[in-house]
């Protein structure tokens, strides 16, 4: 493990030089940006007053208690997510696995049975019992079941581009015919900025850029993208003062993009590595890993547990999941054969690695692939083999393989 630098960015006297310059022209956008920076400046100022020796701490126990309670009981504030209940299962379970907290067998079985009630008789999972099936909750449900990783969980899975490709590759139903026109459509979503929009012609957005790129990686077609343009757009989304990421150009920092944007960098690193890029680092991702860890640990933790968008916002399970996922990406570089850790603060801050394509832990990806590759693909008479259908492109054990 690499020792962290002794000085945090916020203790550097030049840190304020990174504040947003509006060039004397005030706009609604610039005022919102400066408001966020003032809030963060206040948080950092309080931290510096309290801690003469900087050592950011991940509030593991508080986060664990918050997540554990959420698996059993939710407040009425979550009523608006009634059609996203598999997502709540996934966000909480993935956060727990990143914290390396075991999921009791009884709780895991209860989650499995609930998700079974969300499964549609026509295929896929719905956002709740007796609702219509949809790709997004199908992705969340399959990821949640793969995190649990028991025979009961796998048995429930009856086998939008990223959600579909992710589910298909994890469950061994990824055939060339199934996605033959998908890469071309995703390619049309990449615009002049370098990132990808939700549909062709729209503004580049962090969530859609990650989903489109990860889908191309799964399909083995990432080389079709303008990778250097994509890299330029992605690294430009890391905020100079805050250290976290924004989702789009001229937008505000948001903790969830700690994964949606930073998670792109392992995918791009892998693509450039395969292309033989000679100047590629074999020690660090192509973003400021310390800066992102500082933002998450100092600005995104609720003292009572859970993580959030930015100072002044409320905690929720979505931001808890993706802040922790981004923190994991920033802590771990490489794969099983070439692995480096960069942990800011105490060793207890270390999270488990997360797979950059599926965003569940690599060993859970490997177990799911092993289980479902023993099963035949629907509609094929031959036994499953390496030549019977297209294999998922990303290796289960890491990013550079």
Q: What is the rounded end-to-end Cα distance, in angstroms, of the chain?
A: 21
- Concerning whether 205 is annotated as a catalytic residue, the answer is yes
Q: Per the residue annotation, which of 257, 295, 318, 358 is the catalytic one?
A: 257
d(CA 75, CA 169): 35
Q: Per the residue annotation, which of 300, 309, 321, 389 is the catalytic one?
A: 309
Would you list the DSSP string of 98-121? HTT----HHHHHHHHHHHHHHB-T
- Concerning whether 248 is annotated as a catalytic residue, the answer is yes
Among 266, 382, 248, 389, CA closest to 335: 266
d(CA 169, CA 180): 14
Query: What is the three-class DSSP state of 383?
Result: coil
Please provide residue 83's backbone torsions phi and psi, each rounded to the nearest 5 degrees.
Answer: -95, 15
d(CA 216, CA 207): 14
Q: Per the residue annotation, which of 85, 254, 350, 371 is the catalytic one?
A: 254
Q: How many CB atoms lie under 10 A from the CB of residue 381?
A: 7
Q: Per the residue annotation, which of 85, 269, 315, 319 is the catalytic one?
A: 319
- Concerning whether 211 is annotated as a catalytic residue, the answer is no
- Concerning whether 254 is annotated as a catalytic residue, the answer is yes
d(CA 31, CA 395): 44
d(CA 345, CA 339): 19
What angle, rounded to 10 degrees, do the helices at 161-170 and 182-189 form? 140
Q: Per the residue annotation, which of 118, 163, 256, 299 is the catalytic one?
A: 256
Q: How far is CA 371 from the centre of its chain?
A: 24
Q: Which residues pair with 301 in a beta bridge?
A: 307
Q: Per the residue annotation, which of 163, 270, 315, 316 is the catalytic one?
A: 316
Would you list the DSSP string of 186-234? HHHHB-TTSSB-SSTTSPP-HHHHHHHHHHHHHTT-GGGS-HHHHHHHH
Q: Per the residue annotation, which of 134, 248, 332, 350 is the catalytic one?
A: 248
Among 128, 118, 125, CA closest to 85: 128
Helices (H), 282-356: 289-299, 317-331
- Concerning whether 251 is annotated as a catalytic residue, the answer is yes
- Concerning whether 316 is annotated as a catalytic residue, the answer is yes
What angle, rounded to 10 degrees, do the helices at 60-72 and 105-118 form? 50
Q: Per the residue annotation, which of 205, 237, 355, 389 is the catalytic one?
A: 205
- Concerning whether 269 is annotated as a catalytic residue, the answer is no
User: Where in the sequence numbering do the catalytic residues fall?
Assistant: 205, 248, 251, 254, 256-257, 309, 316, 319
């Amino acid at each position: 493990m690499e020792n962290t630098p002794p000085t945090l960015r916020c203790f550097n006297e030049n840190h304020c030089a990174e504040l947003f310059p509006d060039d004397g022209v005030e706009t609604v956008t610039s005022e919102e940006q400066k408001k966020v920076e003032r809030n963060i400046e206040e948080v950092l100022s309080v931290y510096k007053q309290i801690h003469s020796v900087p050592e950011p701490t991940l509030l593991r126990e508080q986060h664990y208690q918050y997540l554990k309670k959420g698996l059993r009981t939710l407040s009425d504030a979550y009523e608006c997510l009634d059609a996203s209940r598999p997502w709540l299962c996934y966000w909480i379970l993935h956060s727990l696995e990143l914290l390396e907290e075991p999921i009791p067998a009884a709780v895991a079985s209860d989650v499995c049975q609930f998700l079974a009630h969300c499964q549609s008789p026509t295929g896929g999972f719905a956002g709740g019992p007796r609702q219509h099936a949809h790709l997004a909750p199908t992705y969340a449900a399959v990821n949640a079941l793969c995190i649990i990783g028991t025979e009961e969980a796998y048995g429930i899975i009856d086998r939008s581009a990223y959600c579909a490709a992710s589910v298909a590759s994890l469950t061994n139903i990824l055939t060339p015919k199934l996605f033959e026109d998908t890469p071309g459509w995703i390619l049309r979503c990449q615009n002049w900025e370098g990132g990808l929009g939700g549909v062709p012609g729209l503004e580049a957005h962090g969530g859609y850029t990650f989903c489109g790129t990860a889908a191309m990686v799964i399909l083995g077609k990432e080389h079709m993208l303008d990778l250097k343009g994509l890299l330029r757009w992605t690294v430009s989304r890391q905020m100079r003062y805050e250290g976290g990421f924004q989702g789009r150009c001229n937008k505000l920092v948001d903790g969830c993009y700690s994964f949606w944007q930073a998670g792109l960098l392992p995918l791009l690193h892998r693509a450039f590595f395969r292309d033989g890029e000679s100047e590629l680092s074999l020690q660090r991702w192509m973003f400021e890993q310390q800066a992102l860890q500082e933002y998450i640990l100092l600005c995104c933790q609720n003292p009572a547990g859970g993580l959030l968008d930015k100072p002044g916002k409320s905690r929720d399970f979505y931001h808890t999941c993706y802040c922790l996922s981004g923190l994991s990406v920033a802590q771990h570089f490489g794969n099983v054969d070439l692995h480096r850790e960069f942990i800011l603060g105490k060793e207890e801050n270390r999270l488990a690695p997360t797979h950059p394509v599926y965003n569940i832990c690599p060993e859970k990806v490997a177990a799911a692939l092993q289980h479902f590759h023993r099963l035949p693909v629907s509609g094929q008479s031959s036994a499953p083999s390496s030549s019977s259908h297209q294999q998922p492109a990303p290796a289960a054990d890491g990013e550079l393989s």
